[in-house]
A = this chain, B = another copy of it.
Amino acid sequence: MGQILLVTGGARSGKSRFAEMRARSMAGDPVYIATAQAFDEEMAERIIQHRTERRGQGWQTIEEPLAIAKALRDTDGAGPRLLDCLTLWLNNVIHAGGDWRSEVKGLVATLAEQSSPVVLVTNEVGFGIVPDNPLARAFRDAAGFAAQMVAEVADEVVLVVAGYPVTVKTFR
């Protein structure tokens, strides 16, 4: 089974940069699976900035807002895959009216079958006051559930703080 690394952290914590560094350090040509969808101009700018600043040379990029388990199956066997990020994907699933619980279970089942490594980025969203908005609460539930489910099959989990990793789970 390929190595599974889950990278979590707050917004602007450097988690994507850390995840990219780890994926680049793995053997084979890396594949970037981007789940971001531009809902507005700010988001569109962020996506372009991400692409320009970070991806660098040598990355194959796949933009897949929903069918990430399929994207993982389709790209297995060559190099590491960087999936950035689970929380945007869940947001897409919820907006599309999907069943996030079964989607997460499908992802986890797919992860367990991969032969090439997968680095997954997720966002900590549950360290604030309970949101008034029921949709925001559902999203918090989904993000927490997904992180726990993926962490269970992961070989390594790190929490990125100010760009540096704190070990949460390790195989060593």
Contacts and interface: CB of A to CB of B under 8 A. Distances in A.
Interface stretch (A23-31, A51-59, A74-82, A147-155): A147-155
Contact of A157 (B139, B157, B164): B164
Contact of A125 (B128, B137, B151): B128
- Give the copy number: 3
Given A10-B126, A14-B144, 11 more contacts: A6-B162, A10-B124, A11-B130, A12-B143, A12-B145, A42-B137, A124-B127, A128-B131, A129-B136, A147-B162, A166-B168
A66 interface: no
B141 A10 contact: no
Contacts of A163: 147-148, 151-152
Interface residues of A, number: 42
Interface of A: 6, 8, 10-14, 42, 122, 124-131, 133-134, 136-137, 139-141, 143-145, 147-148, 150-152, 157, 159, 161-164, 166-169
A129 B132 CA distance: 11
A10 B157 contact: no
Contacts of A136: 129
